Copies of this chain bind each other. A is one copy, B any other.
Amino acid sequence: MKKQPDQTPECGLGRALAVIKGKWKPSLIWELHQRPIRFGELKRRLPGITEKVLFEQLRQLEVDGIVHREVYDELPARVEYSLTTFGAGLNAAVHELAEWGKRLPSPTSAVAERPPLPEGVIRVSRGVRLHDSTS
């Protein structure tokens, strides 16, 4: 895992984000937040995920105490995943953030390009314009 920046020791945000870091983890937590689901059904519910990644992310959530893994010794094999009480707390803690996210326009930045500046004009973000000495 990539080293995270030092943070104020009393702030748990870094650790919380580390736990949900993973492309499918938020969806997994959401899927499990009401009832246990088996491996195969999770796979069907998350179209596009591969078995490898599904297993990896479930395993990480399990290690972090978010998810419980129950093995039933049957044939064919059957394994059910569920949220722990601790994990349910995470699901709740995330709610406010999700609400905030609704105010966002769908396509978020990340790789957006800065538009080319018109000649002779320096643009400032809130719309202020400073004309340079040549104008």
Chain A contact residues, CB within 8 Å of chain B: 1-2, 4-8, 10-21, 23-24, 26-27, 30, 46-49, 59-60, 62-64, 68-71, 73, 86, 89-90, 92-104, 106, 108-112, 114, 122, 124-126, 130
Contact = CB atoms under 8 A, between A and B. Distances in A.
A18 to B, nearest CB: 4
A17 B24 CA distance: 12
Given A11-B101, A70-B126, A73-B122, 18 more contacts: A1-B108, A1-B110, A5-B24, A6-B48, A7-B26, A11-B30, A11-B98, A12-B97, A13-B98, A15-B104, A15-B106, A17-B26, A17-B101, A59-B114, A63-B112, A69-B125, A71-B124, A86-B103
Contacts of A59: 109, 112, 114
A71 B23 contact: no
Given A18-B110, A103-B12, A112-B60, A130 B71 contact: yes
A67 to B, nearest CB: 9
Contacts of A96: 92-97
